[in-house]
Amino acid sequence: MATLGIPQNTIAVLQKYNFTFQKKYGQNFLIDPHVLEKIVAAAEITPEDLVLEIGPGIGTMTQYLCEHAREVVAVEIDRNLIPILEDTLSAYDNVTILREDILKVDLTQIAKERNGGRPVKVVANLPYYITTPIIMELLESHVPVESITVMVQKEVADRMQAGPGTKDYGALSLAVQYHARPEVVAKVPPNCFLPRPTVGSAVIRLTRHVQPPVRVEDEAFLFDLIRASFNQRRKTLANGLNNSPKILLSREEIQAGIEELGLPVTVRGEALTLEQFAQLSDCFFHMMKKRGR
């Protein structure tokens, strides 16, 4: 039975092992059973699922996942937590603990060996300092992932689901929404963690698109374009793109492409939808190809 969500049980384990929190790993352990249950419910874990958990800590959420999934692979970077995990998860025979950096793990191989190549479900209470690199690696590397249900800083969750014209809208919003459908399923206050973080948190579920909502000639160029559009938010879209080494077009050509979309040359990147970025990407891609750039 999962018991680590109860605060006194978490404290007892930490004291037993004289565990010291590592700031460099951004360790904040969940101590609220209701939040843990919400995460597992939002992830829609079934007895047929292989679940990849990133940063299991002392195994708090891992226990809940083991009770719902066919198998859990828990990837933990902190070697000091491995003996604790072996203790707290000793009652479960459907979990494998990997002492690895998640950014260096071959997730495609794990899915192939343990899930017949079928997509896995990712669940995590992510360290806030490395949230974006982990999520983008999961999405952009095209590893077989069905959904990603993660605890992140509330600001990051807001940015992932933001739409055009809002202050939170940016390159992260577009990258996430190109690959998945984001949905905030719970807001989590600081007192649900040990130690308490200084910021609010949120659980967000990213459901992977079977196909991206837009089609483009060159996906990498689309995201070069998007990043350039938001590198200098106060500049117009044309000025931002003109300053990018990846957009090999003159200012006049860039302005012509923007006008071709029916947009004013003074428009800012934050006003464009994903569909408009896709159209602009293809327009510029063809212009550059035609000019041999």
User: Which residues have a Cβ under 8 Å from the Cβ of 32 and sit 6 or more positions away?
Assistant: 5, 188, 192
Cα angle 134-140-143, degrees, rounded to a multiple of 5: 85
- State how far the Cα of 9 lies from the Cα of 220, in Å rounded to an integer: 47
Q: What structural domains does the chain harbor?
A: 7-208 (3.40.50.150), 219-290 (1.10.8.100)
Cα angle 257-258-260, degrees, rounded to a multiple of 5: 65
Using a 10 angstrom Cβ sphere, with 0-12 exposed, 13-18 middle and 19 or more buried, the burial of residue 104 is exposed
- State how far the Cα of 72 lies from the Cα of 145, in Å rounded to an integer: 14
Q: Can you count the helices (H) and strands (E) in the chain?
A: 12, 9
Phi, psi torsion values for 133, nearest 5 degrees: -60, -40
Contact 50, 24 (CB under 8 A): no
Contact 232, 240 (CB under 8 A): yes
Amino acid present at 31: I
**Structure token digits, residue 17:** 């092992």
> Which parts of the chain register pLDDT below 50?
none
**Structure token digits, residue 63:** 């226990």
Contact 172, 140 (CB under 8 A): no
Phi, psi torsion values for 89, nearest 5 degrees: -110, 10
State the angle between helix axes of 171-179 and 274-290 in degrees (0 to 180), rounded to the nearest 10.
90
Pairing of strands 29-30, 193-194: antiparallel
Amino acid present at 199: V
C-beta neighbour count of 208 within 10 angstroms: 18
The whole model's pTM is what?
A: 0.93
pLDDT of residue 141: 87
| DSSP secondary structure string for all residues of 157-222 | HHHHT--TTSTT-SHHHHHHHHHEEEEEEEEE-GGGEESPPSS-EEEEEEEEPSS-SS--S-HHHH
C-beta neighbour count of 110 within 10 angstroms: 19
